[in-house]
Amino acid sequence: MQKRWRILPFDPDQVEQLESRANVPTVVAQLLLNRGIQSPDEIASFLDTKLSDLRPPEDLPGITAASALIYQAVKDQKRILIYGDYDADGMTASAILFRCLTILQANVTYFAPNRISDGYGLNADQIKRHHEQGVELIISVDCGIANADEIDIAKQLGLQVVVTDHHEFGDRLPNADAIVHPRLPETDYPFGGLCGAGVALKLAWALCQLDSEATRVKPAHRDFLMMAVGIAAIGTVADVVPLQDENRIIVTHGLRSLKHQPPLGLAALMKLTGLSAKRQFDAQDIGFNIGPRLNAAGRLGQAPLGVELLVTENAQRAQELADYLDNLNNDRKKIERSINLAAAKQIKEKYSVENDPAFVLAGHGWNAGVIGVVSGRLAEKYGRPVILIALDQMGVKPGIGSARNGGIGNLHEALQHCTEHLVKHGGHAAAAGLTVEENQVDAFRSAFCEYIQESVTEEDRLVEVVIDAEVPLSQLTTQTIVHIQQLAPFGAANQAPILCASNVDIVKGSAKRMGGGERHLSVKVAQHGKTLRAVAFGQGDWAEELDQVEGQIDVVFKPVINEFRGQRNVELHLEDWRQITQPA
C-alpha cells in the first residue's frame, strides 16, 4: 500500500529558544511546538499534570440533580440497577458506580448486556425484566442518551431513570429524571471528551461529597476515589477518547493508581500478564493488555464477568476471573486469526488488491463480536474500506456487519447511499455497524464499492503518514526517549511521536519474522556507526522484502525504551519504510 510521508514544518529559531527555555533535547522541543505548547505555563501544565486540575464534579452538566436523586434513593433503600455497556468503558463505568454505591450501603446491583442478544444501549425487554424483579431506579452508564423510547417504557412502568453517558444524542433527549452528559444541550462544560468511565467517576465523586457533607471527602471515600481514577483510566484509554484536558489527568494519575492500589481483580490480571513486574505503567499497557481482556469478555458474551473482576473483594474469585478472562482473550485471538485467514482468502480469490476500491467480505459462523477488530486490521493493511459480515449459520437471522474505513472515504455517507439494501446501520465516517439480509449481500457489495469508487479520488487513496521530526539515530539516547515519554500518556489526540531517519543501512541478515504465527518483524538498522533494533508488529512479510533490499532505506518509527531482564535499550517501532531511489 502506497503511503505519503509528510514531515511537519518547524521554525529552527523557535525550536532553539524552546530547547533552551525548557531545558529539553531538540527533538522534544519540536514535539512540544507541534502540539501547540510553547509558553512556560503551558509546558509546566503539560509536563506536570496535577490531579487537582480536575474540574469539581458539580460543574458537569446534570450532576447535581442526578447525585441528589441517587443519594436519596440510597437513603430510602430503593432497589438500584446500574445498566452498563458491554465494552471496557461500560464495564469500568459500571464498576466505579457499583463500588461507590456499595460503600454508601445502597441496595444495588449491575447489569452488563450481551452484545448479540441485547444489543447496544438500554433494552426494553431487560428493563421490563428488572422491573419485575423489583428494581426502582435505573442508572445507565456509557449508554442511554439515545434510548428515549426505551426510557419512556421505563417511566410508564414507574421506574426512576438517571442517564449518564457521553455518546451522540438521538432525535430527542430522553425523558429521564436526570441526565449527566458533558455536552448536554444548552450547557457549556469546557471539555466534552470524557468517556463513560470519566462521567461515572465525576458522579461517584459528587456522591462521596454528599455523604461526607463537605467538598473534602472522608478518608475512606478518598481511598476509593483514588482507586476509581485507576479504573477510569482503563475506560478512557480503551474507549479511544482524546487524551487531552481532564482525560490526560485521569490517565496520568490512574496509571499510578493502578500500579500502587489496584482492585484485587486487576492486581491478579496484571500479575498474570507480567505488568506487575514493570516499574511504571503507560497507556499502551492498558491498550494492549488490560483493555483487550475486558473487551474479550464483552465480545464473547461474558461482559458481567468483566465487571465482576473489577468489583470483587474475594482474592480467590479475583484469581479465577483473571485466569478466565485471560483464557477468553486467547480464545478471542484464535477466533480473530481464523476469521482473518478466511477473509484474506476471500480477498485473494475475489478481489484485485491493486484495483478494487473496497472489500465487502461475508462468512457463515464468523463471530459477530470480533469482526470489527479484523475489519480494522484489514482496512489498515490495505488502506481502503473493509466490511466483514457475520452470516447466520441457519440463514434465518440477518447478517451482522462491521465496517472500518482504513483512513479512506466516509462510511456513514456510503452506508446512507446503500440503505435500500440494509436492514439498519449506524456509526460515523471511520467506523460503522450494519445489519443485512443474506440475499442482499451481493447487491450491497456492488452498491458500496461503486460509491467508494466514485467518491474517493486517487489523491484520497494515498494514506498520509504525519511525521513529527527527522532525527539521526545517534540522537536517540535513553535520556532523550525518557524526555519524549514525559509527553505521555499517548493516545487519541496526543499520539506517540512519529519520527523518521534517512539513509539508513539494514544490517545484513538481521531481518527476521518473530512472534506467534511469525506475524511480526525484527530487524537491525544502522546509521553513522549507531545500530538499533527495530520491530514491526503485524508486518512479518517485510522480512523477505527487507532481505532483498540493495542499498539504504528511509524509515518511519516510534522510539521506545525496551525493558528486558533488567536491561533498558532504545528500540524503534517501525511504522513504514521505503527504499532510496538511486540516481540514474
d(CA 215, CA 443): 60
Burial tier of 512 (Cβ tally within 10 Å: 0-12, 13-18, 19+): middle
- Residue whose C-alpha cell reads 441526565 in the numeric block: 179
Query: What would the grid cell of residue 421 be?
Result: 439494501
The answer to whether residues 122 and 140 touch, using CB atoms and an 8 Å cutoff, is: yes
Radius of gyration over alpha carbons of the chain, in Å?
A: 25
Q: Find residue 227's DSSP bridge partners.
A: none
Cell triple for residue 270? 496484571
Grid cell at residue 428 = 460515523
Question: d(Cα 15, Cα 439) in Å, to the nearest integer?
Answer: 60
The CATH number of the domain covering residues in 3-47+465-579: 2.40.50.460
Domain spans in the chain, listed from the N-terminal domain onward: 3-47+465-579, 53-325, 351-460
Task: Name the helix (H) or strand (E) containing 83.
Answer: strand 79-83
Sign of CA dihedral 266, 268, 272, 277: positive
- The CA-CA-CA angle for residues 401, 357, 555, to 5°, reads 100
User: What cell was used for 507?
Assistant: 544490517
pLDDT (tens, 9 = 90+) of the chain, 584 residues, equals 668 899 999 999 999 999 888 888 899 899 999 999 888 788 888 888 999 999 999 999 999 999 999 999 999 999 999 999 999 999 999 999 999 999 999 999 999 999 888 988 999 999 999 999 999 999 999 999 999 999 999 999 999 999 999 998 988 999 999 999 999 999 999 999 999 999 999 999 999 999 999 999 999 999 999 999 999 999 999 998 999 999 999 999 999 999 999 999 999 999 999 999 888 889 999 999 999 999 999 999 999 999 999 999 999 999 999 999 999 999 999 999 999 999 999 999 999 988 899 999 999 999 999 999 999 999 988 989 999 999 998 878 999 999 999 888 899 999 999 999 999 998 888 899 999 999 999 999 999 999 999 998 877 778 889 999 999 999 999 999 999 998 999 998 899 999 999 999 999 999 999 987 888 999 999 999 999 999 999 899 999 999 999 999 999 999 999 887 778 899 999 999 999 875 54
Structural class in CATH, domain 53-325: alpha beta
Please say whether the structural domain 351-460 has been given the CATH code 3.30.360.10: no
